[in-house]
Amino acid sequence: MQTNEFHGNAVFSGGGFMPSQATQTVPDRPSSSYKSDARCSMPLTVKQLKDLSRVGESGISIDGVDVNNIVLVGMVSKIDNAVSDCTFRVDIYMFFGVAFRPVTDFNEIAKHFIEGIYVHLYNTNLRGGMTTQPEVANSNFGNPTKSYGYQTNLTNQFSGQYNTVEEQIRGVSSKVLQYLRRLACLYVFNASETGVPSDVVVRELNKSLQFLVSEGLVYTTIDDHYKFTDA
């Protein structure tokens, strides 16, 4: 854990890291890893830290993702104040000179672990193939009473022309809305107020397209025109 890169505001604006932050544009095979964005943080359990078996270029790699910042939740059991350093022993782990924020809403504890589960599932399913999305119960962080079901094989959902606004809302636009909801989940940790930037939406779509190309489900024709192979 690189404490000199810990920025309290970034870490505790939500806490979550998704491969969408990666600088790579083409999802590679499991042996490669994404590079993390310093703005993002990955929610982890101590067990995940304990199981680290590979050190990537930037220090640690979890589920194939290089990680710079992490978020842990624990209970402060002892505080020692030195002249220039503060050492905290949190539950069963020891921090040194990192940012702390007290938990005020105890629902955050369950939220942290559920976020960690979501990030883990996303990262590991990404390696398994973009067209199969993880289905996680109660994964709507904005509204716990709703649940997400991620659709597979979005390419066969389009049905051509829509005659009414209602049909359009139910058709393509609903898929776009679903996609935006998913992106919003990924970005809720960093931009819960402002939403997902349009350049990120475009970048994510391009990454998905490039992955589909690498999997042979889509191919390019001329000038970045895409055609799906199972038409």
Partner 1 sequence: MDTSSPAAFVNGGLLRMHVGRKVRTVIQVTRSDAGSVMGKSTDGCQLVVRGSPPAPLTSYVEVIGVAENENSIRAELWTNFGDSFDASNYDQLCQLANGELKHLFL
Task: Give contact residues for partner 1 (rule: CB under 8 A).
Answer: 45-51, 75, 92-94, 105-107, 110-111, 113-114, 116-117, 120-121, 137-138, 144
- For residue 149, the minimal CB distance to partner 1 (Å) is 15
Q: Which amino acid is at 50?
A: K
Cβ 17 to partner 1, closest distance in Å? 15
Closest to partner 1 by CB, 39 or 111: 111
Minimum CB separation of residue 92 from partner 1 in Å reads 5
The one-letter amino acid code at 126 reads L
- Residue 44: Cβ within 10 Å count: 25
Q: How many CB atoms lie within 10 A of CB 92?
A: 10
User: Closer CB to partner 1, residue 137 or residue 231?
Assistant: 137
Of 106 and 158, which has the nearer Cβ to partner 1?
106
Nearer to partner 1, 136 or 218 (CB): 136
- Closest approach, Cβ 115 to partner 1, in A, equals 11
User: SS3 for 171?
Assistant: coil
- CA 79, CA 89: separation in Å to the nearest integer? 7
Residue 90 pairs in a beta bridge with: 76, 93
Q: How far is CA 38 from CA 17, 41, 120, 125, in A?
A: 10, 8, 18, 23
Distance, CA of 72 to CA of 230 (rounded, Å): 44
Q: CB of residue 100 vs partner 1: minimum separation in angstroms? A: 17
Whichever of 76 and 202 has its CB closer to partner 1, that residue is 76
Nearest residue to 108 (alpha-carbon basis) of 72, 76, 68, 63: 72
- The distance of closest approach from Cβ of residue 160 to partner 1 in the complex, given in angstroms and rounded to an integer, is 39
Nearer to partner 1, 48 or 190 (CB): 48
